[in-house]
Amino acid sequence: MKTIIYIDHSESYRSLLQEELSEEGYQVVTANNIEGALSELRGVNPDLVILELRQKRFREEGFEKLKNQYPGIPWVGYSTFFQCPDEFKKWINFYLPKSSKIEEIKTLIKSL
Tens-digit pLDDT profile for residues 50-64:
988 876 666 778 888
Q: Where are the alpha helices (DSSP H) in the chain?
A: 11-23, 34-40, 60-69, 86-89, 103-111
pLDDT tens digits for range 38-92: 888 888 899 999 988 876 666 778 888 888 888 888 989 888 777 777 777 777 8
Spell out the CATH class of 3-111: alpha beta
Counting Cβ atoms within 10 Å, is residue 20 exposed (0-12), middle (13-18) or buried (19+)? middle
Question: What's the pLDDT at 56?
Answer: 63
The answer to whether the pTM exceeds 0.95 is no
Average pLDDT of the chain is 86
13 and 52 in contact (C-beta within 8 Å)?
Answer: yes
Distances (CA, A) of 68 to 5, 20, 52, 72: 15, 28, 18, 9
Q: What is the mean pLDDT of residues 14-36?
A: 92
Q: What whole-number distance in Å separates Cα of residue 31 and Cα of residue 9?
A: 8
CA 20 to chain CA centroid, nearest Å: 14
